[in-house]
């Protein structure tokens, strides 16, 4: 199966293989990842069902196949999520572009783990949000210093159910083994992370805005730069022009 060129694809499809639960019985592997050509990343798999259930051997192609040992940052960087963030932020001016990242799969395949992560590994949502807010930190306005934001602070909980962030995270990060016994879909994949640089440019803050630094909440953003994707560094047009002349 030959994949269409990247420029012809309306969207890209990545396959991430989930490792078995710790202690799960060993079974015969029915999915094989084909060796990549010319040292590139793998992009094809072959399904080889057991003889008693075999009808045909099927082959499928994807933009890229992430094997069981892939980390959250591997997925974030190799899916080129940073370029989607750059398009949304429109660093070179303009209105920006829309972007969407979605996960599809059967129950228990690791969709929630990929998007939301767990207590030790952040998912694509947290990594992307981290990059966005660190990138626009100098353009953010402290609500206490801007009277125009008072209306946004008003909250009427009489007709709504308010749930603390801690309660939500406890639900998301429930015991994976307990969830698996109850039909849940939490992954227990132990994963390592690696640093990856990405340099983008955004428009500098306007004088009317009050720059502020993003507050770091305990456990929300790791202190080590090696566990976070790089932010979009704001530069002025003069700095960008000077940098291009030096090149």
Known binding residue 109? Answer is yes
* Interior/surface letters 173-212, b for 16+ CB within 10 angstroms, e for the rest: beebeebbeeeebbbbbebebeeeebebbbbbbeeeeeee
Known binding residue 184? Answer is no
The answer to pTM > 0.75 is no
Task: Give Cα separations from 67 to 6, 96, 149, 151, 213 (angstroms).
Answer: 21, 33, 46, 48, 37
Known binding residue 106? Answer is yes
What distance in Å separates the CA atoms of residue 91 and residue 204, rounded to the nearest whole number? 9
Known binding residue 188? Answer is no
Are residues 107 and 42 in contact, defined by beta-carbon separation less than 8 angstroms?
A: no
Known binding residue 63? Answer is no
Pick the residue with more confidence: 165 or 60? 60
Comparing C-alpha atoms, which of 167, 236, 176, 174 is closest to residue 201?
Answer: 236
Known binding residue 108? Answer is yes
Instruction: Report DSSP letters for 151-188, one per residue.
Output: HHH---GGGS----HHHHHHHHT--HHHHHHTT-----
Using DSSP, state whether 122 is helix, strand or coil: strand
Long-range residue pairs from 109-112, CB within 8 A, at least 24 positions apart, any chain: 109/18, 109/185, 110/16, 110/18, 110/185, 110/187, 110/189, 111/185, 112/172, 112/185, 112/186, 112/187
Pick the residue with more confidence: 126 or 3? 126
Known binding residue 107? Answer is yes
% the chain with pLDDT above 70: 59
Comparing C-alpha atoms, which of 63, 71, 19 is closest to residue 41?
Answer: 63
Q: What is the pLDDT of residue 39?
A: 72
Return all residues near 118 (Cβ < 8 A) that are at least 6 apart. Answer: 172, 173, 176, 186, 187
What distance in Å separates the CA atoms of residue 146 and residue 210, rounded to the nearest whole number? 9
The rounded mean pLDDT for the chain is 72
Pick the residue with more confidence: 244 or 29? 29
Are residues 15 and 32 in contact, defined by beta-carbon separation less than 8 angstroms?
A: no
Q: Report the pLDDT averaged over residues 96-117.
A: 89
pLDDT digits (tens, 9 = 90+) for 21-66: 888 787 778 889 998 877 788 999 998 877 777 677 889 999 999 9
pLDDT digits (tens, 9 = 90+) for 219-237: 344 444 455 666 555 555 6
Long-range residue pairs from 99-102, CB within 8 A, at least 24 positions apart, any chain: 101/128
């Amino acid at each position: 199966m030959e994949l269409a060129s990247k420029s012809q694809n309306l969207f890209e499809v990545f396959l991430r293989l989930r490792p078995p639960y710790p202690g799960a019985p060993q079974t015969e592997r029915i999915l094989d990842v084909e060796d990549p050509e010319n040292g590139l990343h793998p992009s094809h798999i072959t399904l080889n069902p057991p003889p008693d259930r075999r009808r045909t051997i099927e082959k499928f192609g994807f933009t890229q196949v992430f094997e069981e040992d892939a980390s959250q940052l591997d997925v974030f960087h190799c899916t080129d999520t940073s370029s989607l963030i750059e398009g949304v932020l429109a660093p070179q001016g303009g209105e920006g572009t829309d972007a969407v990242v979605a996960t599809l799969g059967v129950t228990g395949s690791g969709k929630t783990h990929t998007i939301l992560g767990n207590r030790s590994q952040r998912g694509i949502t947290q990594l992307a949000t981290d990059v966005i807010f660190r990138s626009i930190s100098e353009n953010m306005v402290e609500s206490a210093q801007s009277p125009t934001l008072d209306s946004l602070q008003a909250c009427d909980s009489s007709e709504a159910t308010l749930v603390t962030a801690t309660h939500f995270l406890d639900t998301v990060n429930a015991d994976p083994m307990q969830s698996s016994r109850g039909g849940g879909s939490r992954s227990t994949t132990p994963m390592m992370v690696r640093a990856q640089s990405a340099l983008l440019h955004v428009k500098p803050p306007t004088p009317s805005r009050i720059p502020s630094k993003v507050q770091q909440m305990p456990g929300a953003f790791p202190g080590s730069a090696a566990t976070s994707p790089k932010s979009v560094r704001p530069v002025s047009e003069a700095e960008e022009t000077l940098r291009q002349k030096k090149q």
